[in-house]
C-alpha cells in the first residue's frame, strides 16, 4: 500500500465530519496591486543622491532620469533605498509566501491563520500535479480530507491557532510587502530568474510590471523574455 493511501485512510475514520469538505482548486491567478509608492519617486531619489556630490544646482525638471540611470550604471544603488514600493499580493500559496519572507530587508503583513477562519480555504495547484490525472485526483482528495479534519478540530474546541497545524502549503494566502527600490531590484534579479520557482517568479514579474509603469528608469536594465522570465541586460560600468 502506498503511503498516500495510508494517509487518506487515517483521515476517513468514522468520527470525521461528513459532507463539509468542498475544495475548489483555483487556476493560478496571481494578483499584485500597488498600495503605495514614494511620491515624486524619481525627484526624491535624485535630491537625496545629489547630496553625495553637492550638485543640487544641476537639478532640473528633466534631470532625475539621467541621474538615476547614471547611479544604477555605476552600481551606486544605495541611493535607491530612499524610495519604497508597497504591494498587496493575492492568489499565491503558502509555499510561495514562505520563499518570499526569506528576504529580510522587507516589511510584511500576511493573512493570519490564527485570526482568520480557514475552514473554507482555497488551494493553489501546480501544473505538474494537475496534468497527471491520478496525481491530481489524489491531491484533491487529500485536500478535502484536510479541510474536513480542520473543521473536526474546530468542533472539538481546538482554537484556530492550533487547528492551522494541519493546513497545507497549498493554502491560498495574501500578503502586503513593503521595501525600498534597491531591495525590489534584488528580489527581481533572484526571483525573476528562470531558476526561481514558477509561482514566485510570476509574482516578481508582476512587481516588475508595476515598477516599469511607475518609474521605468528603475528597471530599465531588466528585460522580460518571451519565456516569462526576467534578465538583466546591462552590467555595472
Catalytic machinery residues: 191
CA 178 and chain centroid, separation? 12
Q: Which residue has the cell 514579474?
A: 205
Q: Would you call 96 exposed, middle or buried from its count of C-beta atoms within 10 A (0-12, 13-18, 19+)? A: buried
Amino acid at each position: 500500500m502506498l503511503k498516500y493511501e495510508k494517509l487518506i485512510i487515517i483521515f476517513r475514520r468514522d468520527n470525521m465530519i461528513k459532507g463539509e469538505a468542498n475544495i475548489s482548486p483555483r487556476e493560478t491567478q496571481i494578483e499584485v496591486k500597488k498600495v503605495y509608492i514614494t511620491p515624486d519617486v524619481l525627484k526624491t531619489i535624485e535630491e537625496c543622491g545629489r547630496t553625495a556630490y553637492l550638485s543640487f544646482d544641476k537639478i532640473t525638471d528633466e534631470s532625475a532620469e539621467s541621474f538615476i540611470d547614471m547611479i544604477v550604471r555605476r552600481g551606486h544603488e544605495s541611493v535607491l533605498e530612499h524610495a519604497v514600493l508597497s504591494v498587496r499580493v493575492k492568489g499565491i500559496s503558502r509555499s510561495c509566501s514562505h520563499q518570499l519572507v526569506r528576504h529580510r530587508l522587507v516589511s510584511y503583513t500576511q493573512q493570519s491563520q490564527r485570526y482568520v477562519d480557514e475552514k473554507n480555504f482555497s488551494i493553489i495547484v501546480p501544473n505538474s500535479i494537475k496534468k497527471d490525472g491520478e496525481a491530481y485526483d489524489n491531491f484533491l482528495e487529500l485536500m478535502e480530507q484536510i479541510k474536513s479534519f480542520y473543521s473536526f478540530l474546530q468542533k472539538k474546541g481546538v482554537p484556530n491557532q492550533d487547528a492551522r497545524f494541519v493546513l497545507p502549503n497549498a493554502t491560498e494566502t495574501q500578503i502586503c510587502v513593503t521595501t525600498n527600490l534597491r531591495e525590489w531590484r534584488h528580489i527581481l534579479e533572484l526571483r525573476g530568474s528562470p531558476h526561481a520557482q514558477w509561482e514566485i517568479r510570476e509574482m516578481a514579474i508582476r512587481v516588475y510590471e508595476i515598477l516599469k509603469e511607475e518609474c521605468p528608469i528603475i528597471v530599465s536594465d531588466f528585460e522580460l523574455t518571451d519565456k516569462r522570465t526576467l534578465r538583466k541586460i546591462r552590467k555595472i560600468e
